[in-house]
Structure 1
Amino acid sequence: MAQKVNQVMTPVPVAVSPDTNLVRVGDLMRRHGIGDVLVVHEGRLRGLVTDRDIVVRAVAAERDMAGTAVADICSTNIVTVAPDEDAEAAVTLMRRHAVRRVPVVDGDRPVGMVSIGDLAVQRDERSALADISAEPPNT
């Protein structure tokens, strides 16, 4: 039987409000060992910011990290997947949209995050990507 997204996702994703500054977002990424944070307003998913977004859209643009809100640089055109969908649906979305992680939403409320690493472990726990994903983050 095919696994569902809610069986492979990371539950309770780290989320911030749109007005959170980039210093705080970066600190959350460091403390949690993650490369992405959801942007949520009134419980609803409004965007996604990655460590790459911060580098390309803020650091390289010489923005003031303490004075820039995450809403100013986050991606708002994001693909999502429902928790009860087959995990293969997440794989298809990642391939089609060339993304490495997809927020898991119940309606428009985030309940998890599924990453390429989560799916690698689900497909073949002995794969190189699964091994890398299982390692603790570099801090």
Structure 2
Amino acid sequence: MHKTIKEVMSSPCITATLQDNVYELAVLMKKHDIGFIPIVEGSKLIGAVTDRDLVVRGYADKHSGSTAVEKVMTTDLLTIAPDTTMDEAADLMAKHKIRRLPVVENGELVGVVAIGDLAVRDAFIHEAGAALNEISEHVH
């Protein structure tokens, strides 16, 4: 039987809302040593902000720390269900060149899986490594 994402995802995960600002997200990322924060309304996923978003869409575009999250967040997120297999998640990450996937059930955020989460299982080290190579291939 294939292992599912539910077995390795981070849950509960650190989230933020549209009431938060860029500075507050940077502080959360530093405090929790993370680079990805889902943006929610209640428990419904509406977007996400990465550490790269803060730099590229935030500070490099000369937005101040008080800039609303909405100005820098990504809204067209690829998501997966908790019963997605690790193989399927690794394939999606490689295909779309992404390192993190929000896990959504019935429209609600239930966790986040990162490429490193797939590597924690011996059987999936090869798949996660291959996915990470594919993801990182075009990153400069």
TM superposition score category, shorter chain reference: 0.7 to 0.9
Q: Distance in 2 between matches of 1:69 and 1:19?
A: 7
SS in 2 for 1:53: helix
Deviation at 1:124, TM superposition (A): 2.8
> What amino acid maps onto 1:93 in structure 2?
L
Measure, in 2, the Cα distance between the counterparts of 1:75 and 1:110: 15
After TM superposition, the score normalised by the length of structure 2 is 0.84
1:29 paired with 2:45, answer no
Task: Tell me which residue corresponds to 1:15.
Answer: 15
Paired residue for 1:72? 71
How many angstroms apart in 2 are the aligned matches of 1:43 and 1:117? 24
Describe the SS at the equivalent of 1:90.
helix
Alignment correspondent of 2:92: 93
State the 1:92 CA deviation: 1.7
Q: Distance in 2 between matches of 1:48 and 1:57?
A: 13
Moved more, 27-36 or 88-97: 88-97
Q: Supply the distance in 1 between the matched residues of 2:43 and 2:76 (Cα, whole angstroms).
A: 18
* SS class of match (1:76): coil
Give TM-score scaled by structure 1 length. 0.85
Listed one character per residue, the Cα deviations across residues 74-112 of structure 1 (whole Å, up to 9, x for unaligned) are: 000110011112111211211121100000111211111
Cα distance in 1 between the residues matched to 2:104 and 2:125: 25
Deviation at 1:120, TM superposition (A): 1.6
Alpha-carbon distance in structure 1 between the residues aligned to 2:125 and 2:45: 31
Instruction: Return the offset for 1:13.
Output: 1.3
Question: Which amino acid is 2:4 matched to?
Answer: K
Q: Give the root-mean-square deviation of aligned CA atoms.
A: 1.6
Q: How many angstroms apart in 2 are the aligned matches of 1:112 and 1:40?
A: 12
Aligned pairs (5 A) from 1:1-139? 1-66=1-66, 68-122=67-121, 123-124=124-125
Matches of 1:56 and 1:45, distance apart in 2: 22
Q: Post-superposition, which runs of at least 4 consecutive aligned residues in structure 1 deviate over 4 A?
A: none
- CA distances 1:56-85 after superposition (whole Å, capped 9, x unpaired): 00111111112x111111000110011112
Equivalent position amino acid for 2:116 in 1: G
Task: Name the SS for the 1:95 alignment partner.
Answer: helix
Paired residue secondary structure (1:118): helix
The alignment partner of 1:48 has SS state of strand
